[in-house]
Structure 1
Amino acid sequence: MSDNIYDYDPAAALDSKDAIAIFLADALETGDSGYIAKAMGVVARAKGMAELARETGLSREQLYRSFSGQGNPTLKTMLAVTRALGVDLTTRPHQEPVVVQNSQA
């Protein structure tokens, strides 16, 4: 019996503003700029690069370059794209992760 393996494209699941916001919030929580840029690229593909370029006034090439794994989008680009996606970048106080220690009796 052979198992079929299919490529999964996370962009296919980003069909609402809520889904996009959750996806980007998870990426932002990593603090990894390359990962965040790549996640923004996934969202941009879900929206459609041509449509996003038209709405932001940025070129498709600039969007692809900015939101690749090696991309480094400017704040201006990030704000234009998030606005076009219908989501906001927000902040909250940083919380250190809770470390649970294993206590043995």
Structure 2
Amino acid sequence: MTARDKSYEQATLQALTEPAEAAAYIEAVLELDDPAALLVALRQVAKAHGMAEVARRANMGEKTLFKSLSENGNPTIATVHKVLHAVGLRLSVTPEPAH
């Protein structure tokens, strides 16, 4: 990873600490209808807030959080809810636009 890549990643993680940015990012990823991409997005948002801090706020162990959000993770809806709540977000449902 070059210095430029690290700088980009740091800027991205900094942006994801903002609730509106994180919400827009996750919402955009949800549009992809790709569970693996959603895991990456949740992991990035959690990383932006500090995984240890997110685990603490979510009242779950760090290992559990890492495993749930790993590439092979399969978090429950309860875990997703806890992670989102820990970073100041919440789940919501909206009607799909008419086709």
Over alpha carbons, which structure has the higher Rg? 1
Q: How does 1:25-64 map to 2 (within 5 A)?
A: 25-64=27-66
Match for residue 101 of structure 1? none
Identity of aligned residues (%): 33
Whole-Å separation in 2 of the counterparts to 1:42 and 1:96: 31
Give secondary structure in 2 for the equivalent of 1:44.
helix
Question: 2:88, 2:38 → 1: CA distance?
Answer: 17
Which among 58, 72, 75 is matched to residue 73 of structure 1? 75
1:92/1:59 CA distance change after superposition, 3 Å: same
Supply the RMSD in Å over aligned alpha carbons.
1.8
Deviation at 1:60? 1.1
Q: Please, what TM-score do these two structures have when normalized by structure 1? A: 0.79
Using the size of structure 2 for normalisation, the TM-score is 0.83
Do the aligned partners of 2:17 and 2:45 also contact (CA within 8 Å) in 1?
Answer: no
- 4, 7, 19: which one aligns with 1:6: 4
The answer for the alignment partner of 2:87 in structure 1 is 85
SS for the counterpart of 2:4 is coil
Shift >2 Å, 4+ stretches? 94-97
Q: Please, which runs of 5 or more residues in structure 1 have no aligned partner?
A: 98-105
Shift of the 54–29 alpha-carbon distance from structure 1 to 2, 3 Å rule, reads same
Q: CA offset at residue 47 of structure 1?
A: 0.5
